[in-house]
Structures are given as C-alpha cells and as structure tokens.
A and B are shown apart, each in its own frame.
Chain A
Amino acid sequence: MINSNILRNDEKAIFALRELYEKYGYKPFKMSKFEEYEFYIQNKDFLVSDRIIAFNDTSGKLLALKPDVTLSIIKNGEDVEGFKQKVCYNENVYRVSENTHQFKEIMQTGVECIGDISLYDIYEMVVMAAESLALISDDFVLEVSHLGLISSLLDNICKNANFKAEAIKFISDKNSHDLARICDENNVAELDKIALQNFVSIYGERNAVLQKLEDENVNIGKDNINILRTLSNMLDNLSFSGKIKFDFSAVSDMNYYNGIVFKGYINGLSQSVLSGGQYDNLLYKMGRKSGAIGFAIYLDLLEDLPREKQNFDIDVLLLCDGKTDNQLLIDTVNQIVACGKTVSVQNADVGKIRYKELNDIRGGV
C-alpha cells in the first residue's frame, strides 16, 4: 500500500478522482502523446492558445504535442444511437502559460460524456464536478451558468455581433459600468440597459437567483430557466448542495460551448481549478450528431494548496566513510528502516539535509 503522507496534493487527487469517476461508469481513456498538427490547426479556436509544439516524425509528418485532450476523445469516438461514451482521463497537455508566455506541461484530469445528453447526464456531471472539488478540499464553490440563457438575453437586446461579444466579456468580468457604456454606444433602450446591468448582480444561492430572475422579469427564455430550476431541484438533496451556486459570470467560448457550463474554485487557490460544460457546438463543427458534456481539473494548480510544513528532510542522517565496515552499514540502515524511520547515507554533514538524528559510524568496523 502507498503511504499517502509521501504523496503530493496532485498525486493524491489523481487516485481519488479516478476512483470517483469509475464509480459512475467512466472508463479510463489512454491516448497517444501526439496528434497530427493539422488536426489542431483545423480546430484551433477551441484551444486555449493557438501556439502548439510541433515537430516532424521519422516519416516527415508534422506532429504536435497534445495541447488538449477533449479534441482527441471526440475524434476517436463514433455516434451510436442509445449509447453514451463515458470516459475519464489523466493526461499531460502542453500549453503556453498566460503568465510566463513559455510552454508548460500541465497535468489534467477530466471526464467526458458524449452521446444523446439528457438532463440526468448534466446533473451527473455537475455532481461529479462538485464531488471532485470535495475530494480536494471541503471549502469549495462550484458555480453553474447557462450560456443559452445569456445568449438569449443579449440577442433580445441587440443583434449586433460585436456588442454581444463585448457584453459577454463584461458579464464574465461582473463589469456593469462598461456594459452600460456599450449599451449607450449601441443605442440600447434604457430599460434593457438597466435589465442587463441588474443581470450582472444576480448570482449566489440557487433559489435566490431563480427568484431574482423572475422578479426582474429578465428576458432569458422559458426553457432555459426551466432547465436551471429542474437542475437546481435535483441538486437540492446533496450534502454539499449549498456549495453549488448560480453565477452567470462563468462563461466559455460560445462557438463551442452551449447550455450549462461551470467553474470550480477552492479556497486558497487564486484561480478556478475546474472548468467544464456542454459543448454540442464543437461536435457539430466536427461533423458529429451527438451532444457532449465534460470537465477538466488542472492538477498543477493544486501545488499551491497548503501542505503540512516539513521541518526535516529525513529522520536519520547516517555518516560513513571508506573505513566503515559494509556489513555494519547495511545492518545500521536496516535497523533504522525497520523502526519506520527514513535514512540518508552520506559521507559528511555539509548542511544540505535537515535531519532529526545524526548517526556517525565513520571509521567503524
């Protein structure tokens, strides 16, 4: 058995998450490290960044190190009526870091459900997302949004595509002042402008959000609000139901995502560690008939979670030299390990290792 004390936060999460996803029937999906470069170029808008590490293979074909996992899963699947492909994965992806502008290897774990997506599948995915966060920390928030609802709200206010793109950005920033400015610039009616500004301030506890949407009489489409209400009711009985909130600032690229989307946060981490949602539009663009929903967790971010401070690197620093009898050295190491202690055999204490005990058998025979 593995002693969990020696595992890092991300390593612990990998095992726990895989167990969770298998419980819901999601089977591990192992994919190749490389894909054809052309494949990503065709779908580059779906990628977080269009900068990809490319290289020639032995036959001269241009390949790329995977910047994304979802695309590979979709590519390898097929539409079969009545069947939903349910997979989980744990893969490294290679992307340009927004902070350093250098390529970075990112460990990503996630799940995808591809097929005829029902409301139960959406519920299951939201529950798995919340349970995933709960496995990492008790102090989490999963915020759920609905892109169809935002789209319908904006389409009813102004048909201009630039307005819509800018408005979505401001909604995601909770920026009501610049929303008001672009409403004025696009001659949006005063009442619609106020409704849009109020919409930005509607977030939080699910029932309170649904009530406010009703009170404000926001024009967001009956079907969309019904989906949110039904989903919210389905989530009511969960022990962590209160940690799943509605927040429409959680938006994703509408070229690919549609319907329910969500983001997960953990107290103490400065950015969202989980991101997902329905992406039927991506499948449609790739010529498939199925719908899809999934999410990914960025395990590299878990490095920043607080860990118990280690005051020592090792229990025993065991010093020996050329004169030390080999059998004495072996016996001493075995005795220390048998006591459940850790040991590092060195020739001298040069201050590089923090230890609890020093055992010096230099010159010993």
Chain B
Amino acid sequence: MLNVALPKGRLGEKVYAMFEAAGYECPSIKENNRKLIFENEEKQVRYFWVKPSDVAIYVERGAADIGVAGKDILLEYAPDVYELLDLDLGKCRMAVAAPCDFHDDGQKTLKVATKFTNIAANYYASLGREIDIIKLNGSIEIAPILKLSDVIVDIVETGTTLKENNLEVKSTIVPISARLISNKSSFKFKGTDIEKIVESIKNQVKNND
C-alpha cells in the first residue's frame, strides 16, 4: 500500500488529478464528506489530506511514503526527504520586499519581518549582512509600514498585495513551486511504484508546458 499525503485545498485537488491520470485513482476521494483518508484497495493506494505545511513532516516520519509540498516549506524546515519532481504548480517566488522608497545602505542592522526565519537567515548569511529577524505569523506586509521592520521576506505570487501596501520586490531569493517528495526509506522498498508515478507525472508536467 502506497501512502500519499496531499495538501488540502485547490493545489491538492490539482495534484490528485495528476495521480489519477497516472493510474492511481481513488474515486471515494471525490465524495462530498468530511473524511480525511481515502483508500483504493485494488490500486494499493491510500490518500490523505493534511495541512500543506505538514505534508513534509508526514513524509519525513514515514506516515506517508510520498507527498506534495511547497518549496518554501522544504527550504524552511529542511526535512530529510527526496525531492523527486518539480510539479510546476503553485508557482511563485520567495522575495525580499520593502517600501518603494526604501534603500538599504548597509550601515545598520537590517530588521527583517518574516514567517520564514530560516530562509531569511540563510539568505542574508550568504550575503554577509547582519540582520534582526522578527518572526510573524501573518499580515507580514504591514510590518514595514508600521516601522516594525525595514524589509519583509515572504512569498510573492502576483505582487498585488505588495502594491496595495506600497511595497515592492527588492530581490528574489528563490523560485517556489510544488514538489513531489518521498520518504527516503520508502523509496528503497517501494521504489518501483514511486518511480512509476514520478515518470507518469513528469510526462504530464512536460505536456502541460
């Protein structure tokens, strides 16, 4: 039985469609109910919906053999998993944004507000820039407006929210998209099934290009 952790929400539904097209369908998942685990005995596959940021934990700990997680989560928590495929879905970027008139002259410690403290710390360490990280859990955009921080490090999709708050992208740290991940041990013992899925989804991604 192959256990698959899917992220709840629209991204998860798109990803399930890819698994279905790969021949690992599970019709009960489309029933309108509040169940979280769905199984197709014949296809030897079990899907479960989990919070998107938890997928990597389920996979790393082996509760799921494979799953789909955003690159932002993989960079932030650095789970010990294989990252087998870029699904080219949920594309956005991790960026540094600041008020349009902000200029970093490098003369003082830079105050950085973010949900992604590890990504921010690693990025500025690579630049040798001293920073003060302010961990926030939401509404990151208001931090520079209220002078809580100089800049923010956050996911930018279209840039509309930034624009509406008079912020702009100052630099891109890394492109983000959904990735197919596998538990390392599961890959050793269920590798044939996992490779079959990866190959099929890889072709679907290519055809969508």
Contacts and interface: CB of A to CB of B under 8 A. Distances in A.
Interface stretch (B10-18, B145-153, B183-191): B183-191
B184 A271 contact: yes
Contacts of B80: 98, 271
Main secondary structure of the interface of A (DSSP, over half): loop
A130 interface: no
B85 A177 contact: yes
Contact of B189 (A141, A143, A175, A178): A141
Interface string A241-283: 0000000010000000000000001110111100000000000
B175 to A, nearest CB: 8
A269 B61 CA distance: 9
The size class of the interface chain B forms with chain A is: 10 to 19
B141 interface: no
A269 B81 contact: no
Contacts of A177: 83, 85-86
Contact of B61 (A173, A204, A267, A270): A270
Given A139-B189, A143-B188, A269 B62 contact: yes
Contact of A175 (B61, B62, B83): B83
Nearest to A142: B188
Main secondary structure of the interface of B (DSSP, over half): mixed
B82 A249 contact: yes
Contacts of A204: 191
A98 to B, nearest CB: 8
Contact of A267 (B83, B86, B184, B189): B189
B72 interface: no
Interface in A137-180: 139, 141, 143, 173-175, 177-178
B82 A173 contact: yes
Contacts of A139: 189
B54 to A, nearest CB: 13
Most buried by B among A139, A173, A267, A269: A173
B93 to A, nearest CB: 12
A272 B85 contact: no
B21 interface: no
A244 to B, nearest CB: 12
A174 B84 contact: yes
A104 to B, nearest CB: 16
Which 7 residue pairs of A and B lie closest in terms of their CB atoms, listed nearest first? A270-B62, A177-B86, A175-B83, A141-B188, A174-B82, A267-B189, A173-B83
